[in-house]
Amino acid sequence: MILKKLIRRKRTVESAKPDLIIVGLGNPEPHYARTRHNAGWWLVDLLAEKHGIEVGRAHSTTRLGIGAIGERTVVLAKPRTHVNGSGAAVRYLLARFRTTQERLLVVYDETALPPGKLRLRPRGSAAGHNGIKSIIETLGNQDFARLRIGVGRPPPSGDMVGWVLGEMSAQDRELVDDAIVRATNSILYLLEEGVDRAMNKVN
Protein backbone atom coordinates (compact mmCIF):
# COMPACT_ATOMS: atom_id res chain seq x y z
CA MET A 1 0.00 0.00 0.00
CA ILE A 2 2.80 2.41 0.92
CA LEU A 3 4.66 1.55 -2.29
CA LYS A 4 1.53 2.21 -4.36
CA LYS A 5 1.08 5.60 -2.70
CA LEU A 6 4.69 6.53 -3.41
CA ILE A 7 4.38 5.50 -7.05
CA ARG A 8 1.11 7.44 -7.38
CA ARG A 9 2.69 10.54 -5.81
CA LYS A 10 5.68 10.26 -8.14
CA ARG A 11 3.40 10.09 -11.20
CA THR A 12 1.41 13.08 -9.96
CA VAL A 13 4.59 15.12 -9.49
CA GLU A 14 5.97 14.18 -12.89
CA SER A 15 2.75 15.10 -14.70
CA ALA A 16 2.39 18.50 -13.00
CA LYS A 17 3.60 21.74 -14.49
CA PRO A 18 6.77 22.63 -12.56
CA ASP A 19 6.80 25.52 -10.14
CA LEU A 20 10.45 26.07 -10.98
CA ILE A 21 12.95 24.84 -13.56
CA ILE A 22 16.45 25.03 -12.08
CA VAL A 23 19.15 24.98 -14.76
CA GLY A 24 22.74 24.60 -13.62
CA LEU A 25 25.25 25.63 -16.26
CA GLY A 26 28.33 23.54 -16.98
CA ASN A 27 30.23 21.47 -19.51
CA PRO A 28 29.28 17.79 -19.88
CA GLU A 29 32.61 16.02 -20.35
CA PRO A 30 34.02 14.33 -17.22
CA HIS A 31 37.29 16.29 -17.29
CA TYR A 32 35.31 19.51 -16.71
CA ALA A 33 33.49 18.16 -13.66
CA ARG A 34 35.60 19.97 -11.04
CA THR A 35 36.22 23.18 -12.99
CA ARG A 36 34.87 26.59 -11.97
CA HIS A 37 32.55 26.73 -14.98
CA ASN A 38 30.63 23.75 -13.59
CA ALA A 39 29.57 25.39 -10.32
CA GLY A 40 25.95 25.42 -11.51
CA TRP A 41 26.07 21.64 -11.94
CA TRP A 42 27.36 21.26 -8.37
CA LEU A 43 24.26 22.95 -6.99
CA VAL A 44 21.92 20.84 -9.12
CA ASP A 45 23.74 17.68 -7.99
CA LEU A 46 23.34 18.61 -4.31
CA LEU A 47 19.65 19.46 -4.75
CA ALA A 48 19.12 16.11 -6.47
CA GLU A 49 20.87 14.27 -3.65
CA LYS A 50 19.02 16.09 -0.86
CA HIS A 51 15.57 15.70 -2.37
CA GLY A 52 15.88 12.28 -3.99
CA ILE A 53 15.53 13.51 -7.57
CA GLU A 54 17.20 11.42 -10.26
CA VAL A 55 18.77 13.61 -12.95
CA GLY A 56 19.22 11.17 -15.75
CA ARG A 57 16.63 11.55 -18.49
CA ALA A 58 18.62 12.25 -21.60
CA HIS A 59 17.69 14.67 -24.36
CA SER A 60 20.08 15.96 -26.99
CA THR A 61 20.31 19.28 -25.13
CA THR A 62 19.98 18.36 -21.47
CA ARG A 63 19.77 15.82 -18.67
CA LEU A 64 16.88 16.41 -16.31
CA GLY A 65 14.96 15.12 -13.35
CA ILE A 66 11.46 15.89 -12.05
CA GLY A 67 10.62 15.81 -8.37
CA ALA A 68 9.48 17.75 -5.34
CA ILE A 69 11.12 20.21 -3.00
CA GLY A 70 8.69 20.55 -0.13
CA GLU A 71 5.27 20.68 -1.72
CA ARG A 72 6.54 22.25 -4.94
CA THR A 73 7.28 20.50 -8.22
CA VAL A 74 10.68 21.25 -9.68
CA VAL A 75 12.75 20.29 -12.68
CA LEU A 76 16.50 19.98 -12.20
CA ALA A 77 18.45 20.30 -15.42
CA LYS A 78 22.06 20.02 -16.54
CA PRO A 79 22.58 21.14 -20.16
CA ARG A 80 24.59 18.87 -22.43
CA THR A 81 25.31 21.69 -24.87
CA HIS A 82 28.42 23.16 -23.21
CA VAL A 83 28.14 26.48 -21.42
CA ASN A 84 28.24 28.55 -24.61
CA GLY A 85 25.16 26.79 -26.02
CA SER A 86 22.99 26.86 -22.90
CA GLY A 87 20.19 28.71 -24.69
CA ALA A 88 19.27 25.58 -26.64
CA ALA A 89 18.72 23.64 -23.42
CA VAL A 90 16.57 26.40 -21.94
CA ARG A 91 14.48 26.55 -25.13
CA TYR A 92 13.86 22.82 -24.96
CA LEU A 93 12.94 22.88 -21.26
CA LEU A 94 10.42 25.70 -21.58
CA ALA A 95 8.82 23.98 -24.57
CA ARG A 96 8.92 20.52 -22.98
CA PHE A 97 7.08 21.71 -19.86
CA ARG A 98 4.91 24.28 -21.65
CA THR A 99 5.90 27.04 -19.28
CA THR A 100 7.52 30.47 -19.36
CA GLN A 101 10.75 32.01 -18.19
CA GLU A 102 8.99 33.33 -15.06
CA ARG A 103 9.45 29.77 -13.74
CA LEU A 104 13.14 29.60 -14.66
CA LEU A 105 16.18 29.88 -12.38
CA VAL A 106 19.65 29.70 -13.94
CA VAL A 107 22.60 28.88 -11.68
CA TYR A 108 26.16 29.60 -12.79
CA ASP A 109 29.70 30.61 -11.86
CA GLU A 110 30.60 34.27 -11.41
CA THR A 111 34.18 35.53 -11.56
CA ALA A 112 33.16 39.02 -10.38
CA LEU A 113 32.29 37.58 -6.95
CA PRO A 114 34.79 36.16 -4.45
CA PRO A 115 34.71 32.41 -3.85
CA GLY A 116 31.66 31.43 -1.82
CA LYS A 117 29.66 34.62 -2.34
CA LEU A 118 26.10 34.25 -3.69
CA ARG A 119 23.97 36.70 -5.63
CA LEU A 120 20.32 36.09 -6.51
CA ARG A 121 18.73 38.48 -9.00
CA PRO A 122 15.41 38.51 -10.92
CA ARG A 123 17.07 39.72 -14.13
CA GLY A 124 20.25 41.24 -15.52
CA SER A 125 22.79 41.33 -18.31
CA ALA A 126 25.21 38.58 -19.29
CA ALA A 127 28.15 40.54 -17.82
CA GLY A 128 30.55 38.58 -20.00
CA HIS A 129 29.23 35.09 -19.19
CA ASN A 130 28.75 33.25 -22.47
CA GLY A 131 26.18 30.83 -21.07
CA ILE A 132 23.94 33.68 -19.95
CA LYS A 133 24.58 35.46 -23.24
CA SER A 134 23.31 32.36 -25.08
CA ILE A 135 20.15 32.22 -22.95
CA ILE A 136 19.45 35.95 -23.42
CA GLU A 137 19.85 35.58 -27.19
CA THR A 138 17.48 32.60 -27.17
CA LEU A 139 14.79 34.24 -25.04
CA GLY A 140 15.19 37.69 -26.59
CA ASN A 141 15.38 39.40 -23.18
CA GLN A 142 17.18 39.42 -19.81
CA ASP A 143 14.12 38.84 -17.64
CA PHE A 144 14.85 35.52 -15.94
CA ALA A 145 16.05 34.79 -12.41
CA ARG A 146 19.65 33.82 -11.89
CA LEU A 147 21.75 32.66 -8.98
CA ARG A 148 25.44 33.45 -9.31
CA ILE A 149 28.06 31.48 -7.39
CA GLY A 150 31.29 33.37 -6.81
CA VAL A 151 34.45 31.62 -8.00
CA GLY A 152 36.84 34.58 -7.85
CA ARG A 153 38.89 36.41 -10.45
CA PRO A 154 42.07 35.15 -12.10
CA PRO A 155 45.34 36.89 -11.21
CA PRO A 156 46.08 40.05 -13.26
CA SER A 157 48.26 38.13 -15.68
CA GLY A 158 45.86 35.19 -15.87
CA ASP A 159 43.72 34.00 -18.75
CA MET A 160 39.96 34.11 -18.10
CA VAL A 161 39.15 31.03 -20.21
CA GLY A 162 41.87 29.05 -18.52
CA TRP A 163 40.62 30.26 -15.14
CA VAL A 164 36.98 29.17 -15.53
CA LEU A 165 38.06 25.89 -17.09
CA GLY A 166 40.53 25.28 -14.28
CA GLU A 167 40.05 23.68 -10.87
CA MET A 168 39.94 25.61 -7.60
CA SER A 169 42.33 25.42 -4.72
CA ALA A 170 41.12 23.28 -1.83
CA GLN A 171 40.44 26.42 0.22
CA ASP A 172 38.34 28.10 -2.48
CA ARG A 173 36.42 24.89 -3.19
CA GLU A 174 35.52 24.62 0.49
CA LEU A 175 34.12 28.17 0.42
CA VAL A 176 32.10 27.43 -2.71
CA ASP A 177 30.80 24.13 -1.34
CA ASP A 178 29.61 25.91 1.81
CA ALA A 179 27.85 28.52 -0.34
CA ILE A 180 26.12 25.83 -2.39
CA VAL A 181 24.79 24.23 0.81
CA ARG A 182 23.39 27.63 1.83
CA ALA A 183 21.88 28.05 -1.62
CA THR A 184 20.13 24.68 -1.57
CA ASN A 185 18.67 25.50 1.84
CA SER A 186 17.25 28.73 0.39
CA ILE A 187 15.58 27.17 -2.66
CA LEU A 188 12.43 26.28 -0.74
CA TYR A 189 12.20 29.85 0.51
CA LEU A 190 12.50 31.03 -3.10
CA LEU A 191 9.74 28.64 -4.16
CA GLU A 192 7.42 29.84 -1.41
CA GLU A 193 8.18 33.57 -1.30
CA GLY A 194 9.48 34.46 -4.77
CA VAL A 195 12.77 35.93 -5.93
CA ASP A 196 12.40 39.41 -4.45
CA ARG A 197 11.99 38.18 -0.88
CA ALA A 198 14.47 35.33 -1.30
CA MET A 199 17.18 37.83 -2.27
CA ASN A 200 17.25 39.11 1.31
CA LYS A 201 18.01 35.60 2.53
CA VAL A 202 20.46 34.50 -0.14
CA ASN A 203 22.52 37.62 -0.88
Kindly give the confidence (pLDDT) of every residue in the chain, 203 residues in length, as a single tens digit, with 9 standing for 90 and above.
544 444 444 444 455 689 999 999 999 999 999 999 999 999 999 999 999 999 998 789 999 999 999 999 999 999 999 999 999 999 999 999 999 999 999 999 999 999 999 999 999 999 999 999 999 999 999 999 999 999 999 998 878 999 999 999 999 999 999 999 999 988 988 999 999 889 988 88
From 50, 49, 48, 41, select the one nearest 65 (Cα to Cα). 48
Q: What pLDDT sits at residue 12?
A: 45
* Backbone conformation region of residue 70, classed left if phi is above 0, alpha if psi is from -120 to 50, else beta: left
Report the catalytic residues: 37
DSSP 142: S
Q: Using an 8 Å Cβ cutoff, are 106 and 132 in contact?
A: yes
Q: What pLDDT sits at residue 52?
A: 96
Q: Using an 8 Å Cβ cutoff, are 66 and 53 in contact?
A: yes
Q: What pLDDT sits at residue 98?
A: 96
Helices (H), the chain: 2-15, 39-51, 86-96, 130-139, 160-164, 170-193, 195-202
Q: What pLDDT sits at residue 146?
A: 96
Q: What pLDDT sits at residue 8?
A: 47
Q: What pLDDT sits at residue 201?
A: 83
Coil/strand/helix, residue 54? coil
Q: What pLDDT sits at residue 203?
A: 84
